[in-house]
Structure 1
């Protein structure tokens, strides 16, 4: 049985449907809390905040897109990069991907993604070296992370993978490298985003 981190178990979460993709249910924060409320209001560079305890706009949009367009992933090997809660990975698995791997720098996120996958009766892998499709939801959230993500995504693209990114306009997204596929108005928590919805694009790397 997969070991789950104490933070995954102790976070005040409950199984609930994803607002934009109610076909999927996740263990999410079930209280009026923001990201850093779960860390005592502090940021520690050696311990990522619990992004996995929330469902972010980019991941929701990717999940909705894949649920509505199964041809993007059906019969293909899919890697969900910086998986967070695992929502995009779960959508890919639900729509017929032959293998879906969920990766993240935070082991708590990987544990949460597997927990959420089990709640949706799908299975995720931890690693996939040569994916056919790479998903990345809400990954362009800081100037430090953005170039690292871009380098990884461009490497996958050069190796022939299709790359889909869900981005709600965080400000560090290299739009010139992508083409817009579609947009969604995504319901989000005001405690998390200071607004009730975010317009979020699905972008395909050129």
Structure 2
């Protein structure tokens, strides 16, 4: 039996505000909900990929916080939130005055999660499920929360982010100290102490840096 994403999300999440971005409400898993307890095999049995959209990851929380605190970063601009997950960063960009925001994520369940979360916050977010890695610049600002967790993926992203930055786009990354983050290629903009859950991370607070791809101006 095929699982309906909207029904599943509503049944297995609670409406919560991420601790570092209290302005935004999301459908998130909590320790009180069964989604925390389901094994990978159980998720596969109902046709559900790993539910990254059900959690507010530290990199995304830091990046969303930066965008809300520095709305000039996105105000009036076209924005792509890459590997959007829950849509937290995309929503923050719209709340900060972005002219257009596209949430990009190859997980088909993320489309429903982003739609439901955008509705919760009274904003409009477009969505693409296409794999856009390597595509030419299509926005003024690219936002990417917590994407350098895997070496193979990082090896694909770094030349693409380089190309986007070279084409005039601003590429902002939120990273909580992942092993494959190319810090030497970026400029630090802000650092936050982001509360997270031990169910996801190795500590209750992750030091998260927001970076801009490319060297410091001047």
After TM superposition, the score normalised by the length of structure 1 is 0.89
Q: Say whether residues 1:161 and 2:169 are aligned partners.
A: yes
| Structure-2 separation of matches of 1:84 and 1:122 | 16
Q: Say whether residues 1:82 and 2:80 are aligned partners.
A: no
Counterpart of 2:195? 187
Aligned-pair CA distance for 1:194: 3.0
Moved over 4 A (4+): 32-37, 41-44
User: SS of the counterpart of 1:126?
Assistant: strand
Kindly provide the CA deviation profile for residues 19-69 of structure 1, in whole angstroms up to 9, marking residues without a partner as x: 10100000000225798844436897x974111010000000011111111
| Structure-2 separation of matches of 1:150 and 1:41 | 32
- Decide which structure has the larger Cα Rg and report it: 2
Provide the aligned C-alpha RMSD in A. Answer: 2.4
5+ residue gaps in structure 1?
none
5+ residue gaps in structure 2?
none
Q: Could you say if the C-alpha distance between residues 152 and 33 of structure 1 is closer, same or farther in structure 2, counting changes exceeding 3 Å?
A: farther
Counterpart of 1:109? 110
| Structure-1 separation of matches of 2:174 and 2:35 | 19
Number of aligned residue pairs? 201
User: SS of the counterpart of 1:193?
Assistant: coil
| Structure-1 separation of matches of 2:7 and 2:83 | 20
Q: Could you say if the C-alpha distance between residues 47 and 16 of structure 1 is closer, same or farther in structure 2, counting changes exceeding 3 Å?
A: closer
Aligned-pair CA distance for 1:116: 0.6
